[in-house]
Structure 1
């Protein structure tokens, strides 16, 4: 059975899933947001199915610079995929839907989708150190948010952060791989990253 296309995500009405003014206010104040259970179990399964298809059919055909492995000799150790929207209509449509709507709402301008990435932290993997995704651009000090916050997330949770927000990823203490999709939308040199766990 063929799974549904990403167009189901373009029909999501953002205001039906989140209180928009509160989302904008918390993002401006904190530099990030968290939406628990943003994706339904059916939507998560649809993404999983397309991700499996992408890994089986597309990854073997793309340039090596877009696929990263914990162990290059073992295809089951895939830890990152880049530029998925350039190789899959599903992931391109996915990014152009509600995720772009969120970026435009929070950045208060039209945004262009830049990337859809897949990250998967293997069992026992070390923490990702604190960093900023927008560190290579010049910014005024007033743009920075300095507050510590820990976020544990489950399937369907949507996390988003401003590129100036310092963030990290803890070690994976479980015996399972920890996957997530990342959507980035550009607005000049600013972009918002939206992470959605798909475990």
Structure 2
């Protein structure tokens, strides 16, 4: 699909699906670098950058933040890359990379991701940003595929509230209207497939009900340069989340 058609689809639906964005060899390299990072670096990360379903069990690692700040390989994936180039096309602006994340849902215990809009967390005006989600292994309804509400980015932010789900502290409080359900679509993916959604697109993901399959993926967040961040409000929110995370891991807190 050429750049203009891709941008039109993104503006119309609030998401695009790009199968095979990375080759099998590239996916293998990403997975090898991730395994190294998890083995050598993750034990030294602060709790607000490494989330576990059960912190006492390292096999339940579910989310990592700011990968690019810990490893040059991931820095090169985030900045000056084809991911960044794609973001400039879809947002029709120069962009700034904000975060690069690792996601997993461990088998049997990986919880559903509540319906939400990333823009609620971003605190931008205008809310012009995007998240990319790249599968690192096959993902389907059993182990937690991504679901979007088509066109929902055109209707602004919806109410959000606390969820109690680690790594996704805010979720929509009014999700599930007939319009939501009628326009929801889901995407089974293969390793290397890329999903991209607007910061106002409503999305969620199933839990992992499988017996032995993980659900590993990378996430990239880019802001359009025309979007301005409420820095004071965002820092206060992040400080609150970090304090809550430390309290959960410190029995004396």
- Shorter-chain TM-score bucket reads 0.7 to 0.9
Normalised TM-score (structure 2): 0.64
Match 1:161 to one of 191, 197, 217: 197
Q: Secondary structure at the match of 1:79?
A: strand
2:217 matched residue in structure 1? 180
Report the CA distance between 1:139 and its aligned residue: 6.4
Report the CA distance between 1:27 and its aligned residue: 0.4
Can you give the 5+ residue segments of structure 2 that lack an aligned partner in the other structure? Answer: 128-151, 157-179, 230-253
Task: Determine if contact 1:144/1:165 at 8 Å carries over to the other structure.
Answer: no
Higher relative contact order (CA 8 A, sep 6+): 2
Q: Secondary structure at the match of 2:97?
A: strand
Q: 1:142 to 1:38 in 2, by over 3 A?
A: closer
Report the CA distance between 1:154 and its aligned residue: 1.4
* Larger Cα-atom Rg: 2
Does residue 90 (structure 1) correspond to residue 73 (structure 2)? The answer is yes
Aligned length, in residue pairs: 173
Task: Determine if contact 2:153/2:200 at 8 Å carries over to the other structure.
Answer: no
Q: 1:163 to 1:64 in 2, by over 3 A?
A: same
Can you give the 5+ residue segments of structure 1 that lack an aligned partner in the other structure? Answer: 1-17, 191-199
Task: Determine if contact 1:123/1:172 at 8 Å carries over to the other structure.
Answer: yes
Does residue 110 (structure 1) correspond to residue 146 (structure 2)? The answer is no
1:133 matched residue in structure 2? 118
Task: Determine if contact 1:95/1:183 at 8 Å carries over to the other structure.
Answer: yes
What CA RMSD, in Å, does the superposition of the two structures yield over aligned residues?
2.1
Task: Determine if contact 2:153/2:202 at 8 Å carries over to the other structure.
Answer: no
Q: Secondary structure at the match of 1:160?
A: strand
Task: Determine if contact 1:122/1:178 at 8 Å carries over to the other structure.
Answer: yes
Report the CA distance between 1:189 and its aligned residue: 4.8
Q: List per-residue Cα deviations over 1:128-149 (Å, max 9, x = no partner).
A: 1211010254669983386321
Q: List per-residue Cα deviations over 1:30-70 (Å, max 9, x = no partner).
A: 00010111110000001001101111111122222110111
Normalised TM-score (structure 1): 0.80
Match 2:34 to one of 40, 43, 51: 51
Task: Determine if contact 2:153/2:199 at 8 Å carries over to the other structure.
Answer: no
